[in-house]
Structure 1
Amino acid sequence: MIVRESAGTHRSWQRGLLHIAVSLALGTSAFAAYSAPVDAQTDNTKSTDASTDAANKKAAKQLEGVVVSAPNYVPKQTNDAVKLAIPLIETPQSVTVIPRDQIDLLDWQNLSQVVRYTSGVIGENYGPDPRYDWLTLRGFTPPEYIDGLQAPIGSVASVGLDLYGFQNVEVLKGPSSTVYGLSPPGGIINLTSRRPEAQFSGELGAQYGSYGNAQLNGDFTGPLDADGHFLGRLTAVWFDKGTQTDGVDTDRQYIAPAVTWVISPDTNLTLLSYFQHDDVYGDGGGFLPIYGVALPNPLGTVPTNRNLGEPDYNHFARDQYGVGYDFSHKFNEDWRFEQNLKYFSNDVKIKQVYGAGLELNADGTPTDYRTVDRYNFPFNENVKSFNVDSRVEGKVETGQLDQKLLFGIDYRRYTDSAAYGFAVAPSIDLFNPVYGAAITTPPLFPYTQEVQKQTGFYGEDQFKIDHWVLTLGGRYDHVESDNFGKSTTDDKFTYRAGLNYLFENGIAPYVSYATSFQPVAGADFSGNAFKPTEGSQVEAGVKFQPTFLPNGQNMLLTAALYDLKQKNVLTPDPDPAHVFFSVQTGAVEVKGAELEFVARLNEMWSFNGAYTYTDSAVTKSNGSDLGKELVQVPKQMLSGLVDYTEASGRLGASLGMRYVGESYGDPANAFRTPPVVLWDATVHYSMDKWLFQLNIANLFDREYLSRCSSDSQCFYGLRRAVNLTLTRRF
């Protein structure tokens, strides 16, 4: 949000307040612009004839007095798919950009919620887990990136950072190794941090809601000196929340100070940092038995709030931070140099007693359908990562041929040290749990001792001639890994090629081919280190961002068909003498169709829509998963949301629908998750500098199954959650 101040005295106290806040934070765009003036919106439409000009003038007159409430609701540009600032319709890859305007309007709290109205990706795979974001993207688990650098992920591919600290979420679908190196073929998720701005703005917010949800948050940005050479930003969150599970409490403190030094008109340096501490007390992690959840239990149905852990013993503690900078220098109008650097740390300590299924007779039937066995699984993990990405980008114009060039080198040193323990814990009654049993933490044993060094050299070249856009890219990676003294070296070249055709009206069909690779830890029975898995994808689609719409009208429609394959997948060794060993003869194929729509009309109507069809299969395997669908990959998903805000910008409301088709929770497809339809609603009211917002997820309080992985591992989905938010803008 940008709020213009006319008095110099106001600027003085604003600079002083922000300077003190950022300085204190370093020592130890804000909310959806609901009151921005209409003339602040950039007109990106292009007049092609007199009739279009007349339409624009007529629309502008109609919009007089209309408050611009979400000027960036519809994204137009990305530099994450190819690390070049190019329009989305020129990118030969399916990319979804979810800007802060959408996040704020719909009050999404984490990544699992952000992707509810995005095609090709599903979240909340284990229900409402307060620790991590469990996502599946085109059949695979996507790794998280922060500002274009891989986050400090360890045994889980997410880090659970608070979403409030970020300006955009980018979902890159399909192989992305050409730009980002080692990654699965399904794609990656990138989070872009909030950055200092040249004009003062800010907000303070408070939230209260279901399950004892209490949150305070604030975000301030602006110049730190009179000349505007130094800009600052401070973003912070505190919350104390419960969950729908009895006896679970979650606490979080998050702070992200940032400073930009405008060294010259052509050179700037932005220092970025974040610090987050999490405590989750009492969480048993779900792990409910299938009888009474997905299958009948003669004693009744297991309630959705059931906790089979130990509330006074179980504890998840996490401390993580990232410190670094973004540097940019412009040599001239055509060439520039950019560098991103971050040092990450992620330290997790877990004590967890959880359900291990109903006590069984010798024939495998439950003894009494109520006694639940339990395990005790402490787990500690410390991940540290140093990442730096340096690149030169430029453009060359030769006659009718325009080129955008990118040459880069990145380096990452990653360490992961983990230890675990395991023991049997006292059993518990499924229908009348009594807590407080004596629990002894078992000793810990090494689980992972990994050091990985990755160096990548990459290049991209975009050719534009007339209406044609050709994008070519290649990358060479050298990866050295050491785990418990076992060293491996992997060298891999990945590449991509894409072709777009840009019609004058904003229609842009495209076709592309891309490859990926990802190292695999471990070795076969003979001690030979596993090779990286390799992925490839053919994708064809069309993007439509109309150029003929008048002011106040913007939309983006994307449609894609793809065929994705992965080889060198681990599968059980067929030799009966090699029990518990694997070989790399497995293969996977995922085919799909995706349709996505986002629009903002007359600064009053907002639309989101997505449809996903996915056909996944294990095509080669020595195990029971041969010919089966991939885990947690629904065949079909459909979602739609509409928001209406009156012309004054004061009162508005939204209604959304999500359909998630059936999927399987285990590789052998023995455990089916039934389909579900969920509804979401929002009511928001803005007055002067105040915003009141009521958000309801799962409006009709539908009880549903998120996943069953086995007889002892079932997870309920999120019940109705109501949150009331009060925000004061500055």
Structure 2
Amino acid sequence: MVYLRRSSRLLLLASATFSFAQAALAQDTTQSADQGDAASIKTVKNDDGSIVVTARHYVPDGTITANKTNIPLIETPQSISVITRDQIDLLNFIDIQQAVRYTSGAFGENYGADPRYDFVTVRGFTPKQYIDGLAVPATSTIASTGVDLYAFQSLDILKGPSSALYGSAPPGGILNETSRRASSEFGGEIQGKYGTHGFGEAAMTVTGPAAPYLDVRMTALYRNAGSEIDHTNRKRILAAPTATLKLGPDTKLTGLAYYQYDKVEGGAGGFLPIYGTLLPNPNGKISRSTNLDDPNDLFERRQYGLGYDFEHRFGNAITFHSNTKWSHYKENTPIGLYSGGGFTNVDDPSLPTYYRTLRQYNFSYQEQVNSFTTDNRIDANFDTGSIEHKLLVGVDYRNVRNVARYGFVFAGTLDAFNPVYDPQFAQDIGYPFAYATQRLRQTGVYAQDQLKFGNLFVMLSGRYDWVKADGPSFVEPQKNHKFTYRVGVNYVTESGIAPYVSYATSFEPVLGVDGDKNPYKPTSTKQWEGGIKYDARGLPQGFKLFATVAVFDLKQTNFVSAQTGLLPVGGSQGGNVEVYGAEFEVVSRINDQLTLNASYSYNHSEVKSSDNAPGDVGFPMPTTPKNKISLFADYTTQKGFLAGLGGGFGVRHNSKSAGNLPSGTGSAIANMPVFYAGNVTLFDAILHYDLPGWRFAVNGSNIFDKKYIARCASMINCVYGQARQVIGTVTMKF
């Protein structure tokens, strides 16, 4: 009821804003990306026997994420990567971490085969996750909710400070997923996957008209899979219904919902000791398949979201949008045995415990997040003399409540090279200790105007936020308010070359407490960015391409770094950090035969000052490799007896990256060493065969089964990178 009362006030405020804009403006506007395609990938067999696979949206040209309106990517003075459903399907990506493999500036898979979350960093920082333009109910320790990629039509990564439109946005940017929408054209697919380590999945999406005024879609998925780690299993159930009610030629109301249940048994494979993984151990290497958690470990999560997207056009001039969602997230780890205590004996080689017996703990954790978010805005096109305007004004509101508890007890020892699991320690210890009980309420008003002077575009965006965060009873409530903005200029030539430059700021109230249970201070960021975009509009028909080259320099104050200690929760808040670098990215599809995804990223990150942790100064940000380069090429034969057969090959390289900062374990271990992992080159491949209505594919990740350490966050928290994964997929389209 609190959420409903507050949301009513915000909707009334949005209506007042709309009334003002309606009286002032009366020109032409168009809006909304087509997210309701029944199927944008289609396979056709022509009379001459040729087979052509079309993918209309493989190469992106626009996204509502960048500007909350229909401004094309080429006119946007900020770097953004769009991973479309066509790319996801044709390259067979399973999760977000795989989807960013060939994207510049974004890094994933830093925690190996962990199936619970999507761990991604952008320009050195963890991005804030959004679904349909609204912030997800993230926990106080993890920014990702882990909703399955199959539920979404596209994945957008808006890089750099983005508070001018989204309010609380971290320096690296935001990650927005757009849900599949209903279509007035009947269509869909049924899909099955099976692969290594018992990976099994069945999925379907079906859409079409239920009535002349009502379109519906149902998307569902079931997954049951093991992993390269012994005694582990993961299950997932996803259901995502949606319906669009056409209330007239200018009005539509789309209902959006999702429900997901996850169950992970046997642990997630982290908290390996550094000796025997990244560094030598006198007893040899710890096998990648060894489970140093416990087969009885259990992680369960239930989450859902329910909301709507309302759109009404007033003539051809003004469009009003109201986007609202209620979300619930709850995760439980009643049994969480892990080897976080390190080796019990590193001094006496005459004893059998020398560098092989690990101390274990049982760490239980529970968190529940309830969230209400709403975003209400008006956009309009109008002219003032020779200047064309695309104006956007809006107000949004968030109300988020987190409640987290944990338990922590000693749980015996385990042999790292021959683990025997003692059932007496695999007990549900409950959640006796409060970790965080917090509520965040944020209201923001924003405006944006794109001014067009011929081929020159000027973007002016500004926002004011009011934030109140209530923490535990012993902590005073935080009240913050801040103005943030973005200014950008770009010029689009007739040949599709668009140089640009921009300056942006961000402000983020951080929900959570540090290791001493003190609430985090807000962070603030400023960034310069410049670059060139190219949309290949002058190339011959059949050539589709979008390329971006960008350079940037961002500075953040009051940054938060992940904390790893005996209790693997929380973080530590530092001082100032700078990240500068360059990015190149190209997505291309030529004559519906050859596709190319290529990227290069250079990131130089450095802690510039830190009052609380002076030992961090001069070190790079964790999980931020200085160099990342990737390329994937895929070709499909269209004619002859091999018509419809195709394949692709990819290579990706990440240079080494720090797993921690010297203060990464808070007060537990001061000025610990910094551990670097990575510097690895991996290869991927895919083989596929397409017929009208059918697609058969086998895709492999890390096909040469390279063994490497993805990250060492401390001496007791290392994780192996993802092993070779081979998955066969059969898709029936209709």
Q: Is the 8 Å Cα contact of residues 616 and 630 (structure 1) preserved in structure 2?
A: yes
- The residue aligned with 2:26 is none
**1:334 maps to 2:317:** yes
Pick the aligned partner of 1:591 from 572, 580, 585: 580
Q: Is the 8 Å Cα contact of residues 438 and 512 (structure 2) preserved in structure 1?
A: no
- The residue aligned with 1:269 is 253
Pick the aligned partner of 1:35 from 40, 43, 59: 43
- Return the offset for 1:283: 1.2
**1:680 maps to 2:679:** no
Task: Describe the shift of the 1:258–1:514 C-alpha distance in structure 2 as closer, same or farther (beyond 3 A).
Answer: same
Cα shift readout 1:283-316 (whole Å, capped 9, x = no counterpart): 15321111111111121111111111111x2100
Tell me, what secondary structure is at the counterpart of 1:378? Answer: strand
- The residue aligned with 1:650 is 644
- The residue aligned with 1:456 is 444
- Return the offset for 1:68: 3.9
Which amino acid is 1:128 matched to? A
Task: Describe the shift of the 1:323–1:87 C-alpha distance in structure 2 as closer, same or farther (beyond 3 A).
Answer: same
**1:561 maps to 2:551:** yes
- Return the offset for 1:523: 8.8
- Return the offset for 1:372: 1.0
**1:627 maps to 2:632:** no
Pick the aligned partner of 1:488 from 470, 478, 482: 478
- The residue aligned with 1:434 is 420
- The residue aligned with 1:67 is 52
- The residue aligned with 2:726 is 722
Which amino acid is 2:651 matched to? M
Tell me, what secondary structure is at the counterpart of 1:113? Answer: helix
- The residue aligned with 1:408 is 394
Higher mean C-alpha deviation, range 65-74 or range 325-334 = 65-74
Q: Is the 8 Å Cα contact of residues 38 and 208 (structure 2) preserved in structure 1?
A: no
Pick the aligned partner of 1:348 from 327, 331, 351: 331
Higher mean C-alpha deviation, range 229-238 or range 662-671 = 662-671
- Return the offset for 1:70: 1.5
Cα shift readout 1:470-498 (whole Å, capped 9, x = no counterpart): 00000000011111133111101100100
Task: Describe the shift of the 1:651–1:537 C-alpha distance in structure 2 as closer, same or farther (beyond 3 A).
Answer: same
Task: Describe the shift of the 1:337–1:655 C-alpha distance in structure 2 as closer, same or farther (beyond 3 A).
Answer: same
Pick the aligned partner of 1:242 from 226, 230, 239: 226
Task: Describe the shift of the 1:37–1:284 C-alpha distance in structure 2 as closer, same or farther (beyond 3 A).
Answer: closer
Q: How does 1:278-677 map to 2 (within 5 A)?
A: 278-311=262-295, 313-350=296-333, 351-361=335-345, 367-439=353-425, 440-443=427-430, 444-485=432-473, 486-520=476-510, 531-569=521-559, 586-622=575-611, 623=613, 624-647=615-638, 650-668=644-662, 670-677=674-681
What is the distance in 2 between the residues matched to 1:149 and 1:457? 15
Q: Is the 8 Å Cα contact of residues 38 and 183 (structure 2) preserved in structure 1?
A: no
Which amino acid is 1:442 matched to? I
- Return the offset for 1:531: 3.9
Which amino acid is 1:299 matched to? N
Which amino acid is 2:299 matched to? F
Which amino acid is 1:470 matched to? V
Q: Is the 8 Å Cα contact of residues 30 and 219 (structure 1) preserved in structure 2?
A: no
- Return the offset for 1:594: 0.3
- Return the offset for 1:647: 2.1
Which amino acid is 1:441 matched to? D
Which amino acid is 2:282 matched to? P
What is the distance in 1 between the residues matched to 2:651 and 2:511? 41
What is the distance in 2 between the residues matched to 1:526 and 1:516? 26
Which amino acid is 2:606 matched to? A
What is the distance in 1 between the residues matched to 2:516 and 2:731? 62
Higher mean C-alpha deviation, range 509-518 or range 662-671 = 662-671
Task: Describe the shift of the 1:571–1:223 C-alpha distance in structure 2 as closer, same or farther (beyond 3 A).
Answer: closer
- Return the offset for 1:359: 2.5
**1:97 maps to 2:82:** yes
Which amino acid is 1:701 matched to? D
Pick the aligned partner of 1:707 from 701, 708, 711: 711
Tell me, what secondary structure is at the counterpart of 2:100? Answer: helix
Q: Is the 8 Å Cα contact of residues 554 and 599 (structure 1) preserved in structure 2?
A: yes
- Return the offset for 1:364: 10
Tell me, what secondary structure is at the counterpart of 1:101? Answer: helix
- Return the offset for 1:69: 2.5
Report the TM-score, using the length of structure 2 for normalisation. 0.88
Cα shift readout 1:491-542 (whole Å, capped 9, x = no counterpart): 0110010000111100000000000011145799999976411100000000
Cα shift readout 1:621-652 (whole Å, capped 9, x = no counterpart): 14221110111100100000001012256111
- Return the offset for 1:244: 1.0
Higher mean C-alpha deviation, range 429-438 or range 107-116 = 429-438
Report the TM-score, using the length of structure 1 for normalisation. 0.88
Q: CA RMSD in A?
A: 2.4
Which amino acid is 1:334 matched to? A
Which amino acid is 1:285 matched to? G
- Unaligned 5+ segments in structure 1 are 1-28, 39-62, 573-580
- Return the offset for 1:582: 11
What is the distance in 2 between the residues matched to 1:529 and 1:295? 36
Tell me, what secondary structure is at the counterpart of 1:34? Answer: strand
Higher mean C-alpha deviation, range 103-112 or range 480-489 = 480-489
Tell me, what secondary structure is at the counterpart of 1:607? Answer: strand
Task: Describe the shift of the 1:570–1:652 C-alpha distance in structure 2 as closer, same or farther (beyond 3 A).
Answer: closer
Q: Is the 8 Å Cα contact of residues 203 and 221 (structure 2) preserved in structure 1?
A: yes
What is the distance in 1 between the residues matched to 2:446 and 2:50? 49
Q: Is the 8 Å Cα contact of residues 32 and 105 (structure 1) preserved in structure 2?
A: no
- Return the offset for 1:584: 7.5
Q: Give the paired residue count.
A: 668
Which amino acid is 1:645 matched to? T
Pick the aligned partner of 2:213 from 229, 238, 248: 229
Q: How does 1:15-26 map to 2 (within 5 A)?
A: none
Q: Is the 8 Å Cα contact of residues 119 and 596 (structure 1) preserved in structure 2?
A: yes
- Return the offset for 1:327: 0.4
Tell me, what secondary structure is at the counterpart of 1:112? Answer: helix
Q: Is the 8 Å Cα contact of residues 229 and 269 (structure 2) preserved in structure 1?
A: no
- Unaligned 5+ segments in structure 2 are 1-36, 563-569, 663-672
Which amino acid is 1:169 matched to? L
Tell me, what secondary structure is at the counterpart of 2:299? Answer: strand
- Return the offset for 1:546: 1.5
What is the distance in 2 between the residues matched to 1:319 and 1:718? 25
Q: Is the 8 Å Cα contact of residues 34 and 686 (structure 1) preserved in structure 2?
A: no
**1:257 maps to 2:257:** no
Which amino acid is 2:442 matched to? Q
Pick the aligned partner of 2:700 from 696, 700, 717: 696
- Return the offset for 1:687: 2.1
Which amino acid is 1:33 matched to? I
What is the distance in 1 between the residues matched to 2:285 and 2:234? 27
